[in-house]
Structure 1
Amino acid sequence: MAPVFLFSALQVLIYFGAIVAVLYYWGVMQMVLKKIAWFMRFTLGTTATESLAACANTLLGMSEGPLLIRPYLEKMTASELHAICTSGFSCIAGSLFSAYISFGACPNYLMAASILSAPGSLAFSKLLYPETKKSQLKEVKDLELEKPTESNVIECLSNGAASMVGVVFAIGANLVVFNALMALLDDIINYIGSLIGYNGWSFQIILGYIFFPLAYIMGVTANLDETLRVAQLMGTKTAVNEFVAYQKLGEMTSAGLLSARSAMIATYSLCSFANFGSVGIQLELLGSMAPSQKPVLSKIIMQALLAGSVSSFYTATIAGILIDSPTLCLPKNNAGSCFDPNKFINQTISTTTNSIF
């Protein structure tokens, strides 16, 4: 009775959503985000909305983070919108940590990558799209965050948990669809390759060769086979999503195909929402909150995707330089804790027999 992934790892998302909702109700989340945003505003010189959005995306993700600055989206410049999109692409939601850890990603690497991606995303955003206009929202103290609408903590806890149920099933459905789609593409490419005399082709191999120069420059390892595998993971994350990429990472580490250093750099480089599927999500999300800004968003969204990808890859490169003794984490297997009816029956019979005699 192997554990079902939807109920063995993703259910933690419901708990996280409820806890975040309660912290937001008590004002803890707003206080923490504003303090961090002030520090980033002081050190990086970015505006209040850019700093707050980057911090919020680190903890809440690109779907919930922009909700904190929704009243100010209409007043933002194109460069500020570019920074918000970039931070959304370069970060991941804290609620997904448990799922990635179950795939075999090291928790300390995930936390470090998520924290470093906030200032990194702002830096690369300003390099690709510098500010040429005067912002109306420079100081963090001028921001007024929305207050929760719930009347008490119990209602807040219930609403927070219920709001994550759809997210859990959406993630599960996406995993099924994208894994099936990857298998279909592998079969089609393998069949086409066999027709011209090249067997063993797959979609991941093609992505690996495309991203191989980048992975090699990042200094994954001297082993070219491992560098190619990390490049395949980077390509899968960009073309499909990071969930499928982390799942493939767990399969590779379990099979002994990646060293500790290669797995570490892969963990850092995959820790972002920078994929083509997220483009539509972010464009629709921000466009619905600021309809007048949608033409601007449609022009800058692909450049923001590039900046978000570069930010996560740069963070992985820095980690490869600074960390001398990386740790290799393996996927968690919860099958041993599942109920085994045969074992239960045998134990019951043995206990009954001993009690009689």
Structure 2
Amino acid sequence: MKYIIAIIGLLVVFGLAYIVSNNRKNIRIKPIITMIIIQLILSALLLNTTAGLELIKVFAGAFGKLLEYAGAGVSFVFGGIANKGESPFFLNVLLPIVFISVLIGIFQYLKLLPLIMKVIGILLSKVNGMGKLESYNAVASAMIGQSEVFITVKKQLGLLPANRLYTLCASAMSTVSMSIVGAYMTMIEPRYVVTALVLNLFGGFIIASIINPYTVKPEEDLLEIQDLEKQSFFEMLGEYILDGFKVAVIVGAMLIGFVALMAAINNIFEMIFGISFQEILGYIFAPIALMMGVPLSEVVKAGGIMATKLVTNEFVAMMDLAKVENTLSPRTLGIISVFLVSFANFSSIGIIAGAVKSLNEKKGNVVAKFGLKLLYGATLVSVLSAVIVSVVL
């Protein structure tokens, strides 16, 4: 039965993407089928094999060790603030982002990260049927972040037509940056975080291939990465430390605002209608949760968490998931966890449009115009990844 539901889910996702496609005649089926098969194989390997689980254990262990190191710095500065036995979210989940940001900066400075991103990007372009620039951008977004990635392709932004720019922005919204992967792993199971990272990379190209199909001519398929301003090693360290802290503070501020707002809205709806706003959203998103393979008895609860992620952000949704995880089946927990690992929410539209606009005002205005379509596509990527995972769970 789960296979039938998964097939229906795939058809619905493809159908929803096809409806808004800007060039239906140019959709290429072969790369899409190839990437779906790759997604199924990778999800099965990561979640259902000993080798895959060991690989995830190593990956999670490495991040666990990094979080320990980060904890030493956090404890030194804030050690006396927390009561004994308590685990403040800002200190234990958000502030370690600073240390992860520093490591990314070091690998950038040593030019190891750009090399890895470029090589993987070129290899991906052989599979997805898109340009090298699009493939590089997807990998880079997953490593250095959805706004920072555009700095590395600054020279080419002004030359890109709207369709290629859409793909670049869609990749940035569909993935998550390595700087906050560690934070996710403290909130949901690491194996689902890793699986989602891999699936979303291909899912972004699958959905973009339907919504926004095009062919890149050989003479246009150039990959020119912008060299960042030359800094000394310690200048770079200072910059990445501050960048990491800014991310932690911004996420913290957004959580305070969104969690408080959701609590207020829920309370108002309960007083007026006798049902919370999130429960209403849960009923609206229930059919999507059912299509993703969530059991019928849990679709409303799962739908509410999915909707929360869309209207707020993934951190708020992960916190809500943690509150009810004991009432959900392992299957539902896995499907929803994979769905949550992406930047597909309304606030990301502003972040991406703002990042592009800061580098090229004209192209930033173009991105703002297709912002809702960008979110629509990125949400379909999350649904697609969840459907793929439902097959192997």
Shorter chain as denominator, the TM-score bin is 0.7 to 0.9
- Residue 198 of structure 2 corresponds to residue 126 of structure 1: no
Deviations 1:138-173 (A, max 9, x none): 144xx2331452123x33223211221111111111
Secondary structure at the counterpart of residue 36 of structure 1: helix
Distance 1:289 1:155 in 2: 22
- Residue 193 of structure 2 corresponds to residue 110 of structure 1: yes
The answer to whether the 8 A contact 1:85-1:301 is kept is no
Runs of 4+, deviation exceeding 3 Å? 132-137
Paired residue for 2:250?
170
| Count of residues in Structure 1 that have an aligned counterpart in Structure 2 | 309
Question: Within 5 Å, which residues of 2 pair with 1:188-337?
Answer: 188-193=268-273, 199=274, 201-221=275-295, 224-253=296-325, 256-323=326-393
Distance 1:286 1:148 in 2: 18
The answer to whether the 8 A contact 2:130-2:215 is kept is no
Offset at 1:228?
1.4
Secondary structure at the counterpart of residue 87 of structure 2: coil
Secondary structure at the counterpart of residue 240 of structure 2: helix
Q: Note the residue ranges of structure 2 that are not aligned, 5 or more in a row.
A: 1-82
Letter aligned with residue 271 of structure 2: Y
Paired residue for 1:86?
170
RMSD: 1.6
TM-score by length of structure 1 reads 0.83
Q: 1:41 aligns with which of 92, 109, 125?
A: 125
Distance 1:297 1:311 in 2: 19
Secondary structure at the counterpart of residue 46 of structure 1: coil
Letter aligned with residue 135 of structure 2: S
- Residue 265 of structure 2 corresponds to residue 185 of structure 1: yes
Question: Within 5 Å, which residues of 2 pair with 1:23-102?
Answer: 23-102=107-186
Offset at 1:61?
2.3
Letter aligned with residue 286 of structure 1: V
Q: 2:231 aligns with which of 145, 150, 155?
A: 150
Offset at 1:134?
5.0
Change (3 A) 1:284 1:177: same
Distance 2:251 2:365 in 1: 29
Letter aligned with residue 81 of structure 1: L
Distance 1:282 1:240 in 2: 16
Distance 1:288 1:183 in 2: 34
Letter aligned with residue 349 of structure 2: V
Distance 1:77 1:158 in 2: 36
Deviations 1:288-345 (A, max 9, x none): 212122342233221121111101110111011023xxxxxxxxxxxxxxxxxxxxxx
Distance 2:204 2:108 in 1: 25
The structure whose Rg is larger is 1
Q: Note the residue ranges of structure 1 that are not aligned, 5 or more in a row.
A: 194-198, 324-357
Offset at 1:12?
1.4
Letter aligned with residue 181 of structure 1: L
Distance 1:284 1:263 in 2: 34
Offset at 1:111?
1.4
Secondary structure at the counterpart of residue 75 of structure 1: coil
Q: 2:105 aligns with which of 21, 34, 37?
A: 21
Offset at 1:262?
0.6
Distance 1:100 1:265 in 2: 15
Distance 1:112 1:66 in 2: 25
The answer to whether the 8 A contact 1:272-1:312 is kept is yes
Change (3 A) 1:37 1:133: closer
Deviations 1:41-68 (A, max 9, x none): 1111211221111111112221222222
Secondary structure at the counterpart of residue 145 of structure 1: coil
The answer to whether the 8 A contact 1:242-1:272 is kept is yes
Offset at 1:191?
1.4
Offset at 1:263?
0.7
Identity of aligned residues (%): 29
Letter aligned with residue 248 of structure 1: D
Offset at 1:136?
5.8
- Residue 119 of structure 2 corresponds to residue 9 of structure 1: no
Change (3 A) 1:228 1:136: farther
TM-score by length of structure 2 reads 0.75
